Amino acid sequence: MLGALIIVFREVIEAGLVVGIVLAATRGIVGRGWWVSLGVASGVLGASIVAAFAGAISNAFAGSGQELLNASVLIIAVVSLTWHNVWMAEHGREIVAELRRVGADVSAGRRPLTALAVVVFVAVMREGSEIVLFLYGIVVSGTSMASLLLGGVLGLAGGAAVTALSYFGLIALPTRYIFSVTSVLLALLAAGMAAQAIRFLQAAGVVTALHTRLWDSSWLLPDSSIVGRMLHVLVGYTDKPTGLQLLVYLATLGTIAVLMWWVRSSRQPKPAH
Amino acid sequence: MRLLLALVLPAVMGLASPGLAEDFSLTIKDHRFEPAELEVPAGKDLTLNVTNADATAEEFESNDFDAEKVIAGGQTAVIKIGPLDAGRYEFYGEYHEDSAKGALVAK
């Protein structure tokens, strides 16, 4: 039971952190519950499909199908996050102003919800397919299924608790800071996902440039630890990065920062406040 | 058609990258690696063919080198590993961590 609990918990916190940040980033925006639910539901469906076709996906592209699928969905998520952040840089101030004035849900931020639903879908699908395969293996082997499934359910509950903690932690911030903080978090999330996409492309042998590792900090903070995993999701931490991973990480952060600055300054020539 | 692809694709891939990576094979059976220890050359690109002879899926993973791949029951996965320094690199099956343990020894 403990094994199942730990595996499910490990996978669920990764998706849960993403959902928590997205919920905080869309606080007070009409229709967000529906979009986030849609992201989660389609993610679970996608995870089941990926799990069902795991063999066929693996065999595609000379055995690199899984890596290429992972890299593709991560790149889609990075593009969605970038678009969301740029949109928020342009409209965030109006939304905050409206939120503070009416103290109720506003409809102005409806557009980036689709982008964030895509991000939730990708996070749930990636982590979920591993859980589905693992639980399916338990069901097939049949041994002490009840206690293992109980472990799975407890792991799911633990992961959901992490989602709730990250969400309530973020919305405890004053309204005017929430969008700035979540924008930074989403940019870091995007950079980490871009670096991970590179890792998958390198594992598939598609990209071979700069594929020697830069350092090894696994003695200090291993990827496999819970803290390592959480930092991996939140800021893209990895204990053995390759040169290209670091380069793409920094390039993604830089691109988002420049685009946000550009949109903001072209729209509002006068400085804030 | 599938058979043709199965025969032609690996041949084409082999021709496309002659001698770039060295191939090694592992089998997972009863949630154990066979062989549990594999000697590989240091400083070279490696290709690891991992066959999962069990009926259920396994996730091949390592904290010592970059690998994280789900292998469905009865399937073979191809895992590409960049050049390793001489040393011992452990890997495991995440779904059966108690029994599925192994290591690459780069020399």
User: Would you say residue A75 has pLDDT above 90?
Assistant: yes
Q: Do B70 and A130 touch (CB under 8 A)?
A: yes
CA A248 to chain centroid: 17
Residue A120 has pLDDT above 70, yes or no: yes
| Mean local confidence (pLDDT), A16-31 | 87
In residues, how long is chain A? 273
Q: How far apart are CA A265 and CA A259, in angstroms?
A: 10
Q: How sure is the predictor about A105, in pLDDT bands with cuts at 50, 70 and 90?
A: low
Across chain A, how many H-helices and E-strands are there? 9, 0
Report the percentage of chain A scoring pLDDT > 70: 92
In contact, A228 and A174? CB cutoff 8 Å: no
Are B57 and A222 within 8 A, CB to CB? no
Nearest-Cα residue of chain A relative to residue B11: A62
Chain B residues with CB under 8 Å of A223 CB are 63
Q: What is the mean pLDDT of chain B?
A: 82
Question: What is the distance between the alpha carbons of residues A261 and A269, in angstroms, rounded to a whole number?
Answer: 11
Closest Cβ–Cβ partner in B67, B78, B95 for A64: B78
Q: Under a CB-based contact definition with an 8 Å cutoff, are residues A68 and A238 in contact?
A: no
Contacting residues of A for B66, CB less than 8 Å apart: 199, 202-203, 213, 240, 242
pLDDT at B19: 47
Q: For A124-128, A202-206, B14-18, B53-57, which range has the lowest pLDDT when averaged over its residues?
A: B14-18
Query: What pLDDT does B10 receive?
Result: 47
Q: Which residue of B has its CA nearest to A136?
A: B56
Find out whether B27 and B33 touch, Cβ atoms under 8 Å.
yes
Which of the residue ranges A72-81, A213-222, B18-27 would you say has the lowest mean pLDDT?
B18-27
Tell me if A248 sits within 8 A of A195, measured CB to CB: yes
Q: Indicate if the pLDDT at residue B18 is higher than 50.
A: no
Single-letter residue type at A33: G
Beta strands in chain B, from DSSP E residues, in sequence order: 22-29, 32-34, 37-40, 46-52, 58-62, 67-71, 76-81, 87-93, 101-106
- Cα(B96)–Cα(A203) distance, integer angstroms: 23
Query: By the 8 A CB rule, do A245 and A198 touch?
Result: yes
Question: What is the C-alpha separation between A26 and A32, in angstroms, rounded?
Answer: 7
Tokens 């979540």, residue? Answer: A182
**Total residues belonging to chain B:** 107
- Identify whether the C-beta of residue B93 lies closer than 8 Å to the C-beta of residue B104: no
| A143 near B CB under 8 A | no
User: pLDDT confidence of A240, banded at 50, 70, 90?
Assistant: confident
Q: Which of A138-142, A180-184, A227-231, A239-243 has the lowest mean pLDDT?
A: A138-142
Indicate yes or no: CB of A134 within 8 angstroms of CB of B79.
no
In the three-class reduction of DSSP (H, G, I as helix; E, B as strand; rest coil), residue B69 is classed as strand
What average pLDDT does the structure give for chain A?
Answer: 85
- Give the minimum alpha-carbon distance from B58 to chain A in angstroms, rounded to a whole number: 8
A226 touches B: beta carbon within 8 Å: no
The predicted-structure confidence for A85-101, as pLDDT tens digits, reads as follows: 998 888 877 777 777 77
Look up tokens 């063999």; give the residue: A55
- List, in sequence order, the alpha helices (H) in A142-273: 145-171, 175-203, 226-235, 243-267
Residue A214 forms contact with B (CB below 8 Å)? no
Taking an 8 Å cut-off on Cβ atoms, the answer to whether A212 and B78 are in contact is no
Are the C-beta atoms of residues A252 and A190 closer than 8 Å to each other?
Answer: yes
Tokens found for residue A108: 């102005």
